[in-house]
Amino acid sequence: MRKFLIGIAYICIYTTPIQIGFVAWIIWIITSTDYTLLSLSTNQFLTENLLILKEFVFEYLWPLKPIYQFFWQFPAIIMMTIKAIISTWLGLWLLPIARKMN
């Protein structure tokens, strides 16, 4: 259990630069197109830029489709920023706890 939690903590921490890259990509799209901070939804971002990922999620994780559709209606910049903050915080919080476990 200890190694599993340490692995999860490191995954949360190591994916932070990728998430920051997505936030920068979204900011670039917002500044270079007619979208505003609140008009570019996550669904639009995925449809226009990462259609393969969206199709993969809908095809193989179809039982969770209503959950994804609910969260993907929100603005992409807000959702990605919140996800990056929570993921990094979770990793930094979980790592010392997992290291202290016997």
Tens of pLDDT, residues 49-95: 999 999 998 899 989 889 989 999 999 999 999 999 999 999 999 99
> Chain-centre distance of CA 6, in angstroms?
20
Percent of the chain residues topping a pLDDT of 70: 100
pTM: 0.85
Interatomic CA distance for residues 27 and 54, integer angstroms:
20
The answer to whether the beta carbons of residues 72 and 43 sit under 8 Å apart is yes
- Please name every residue paired with 75 in a beta bridge, in sequence order, or none if there are none: 41
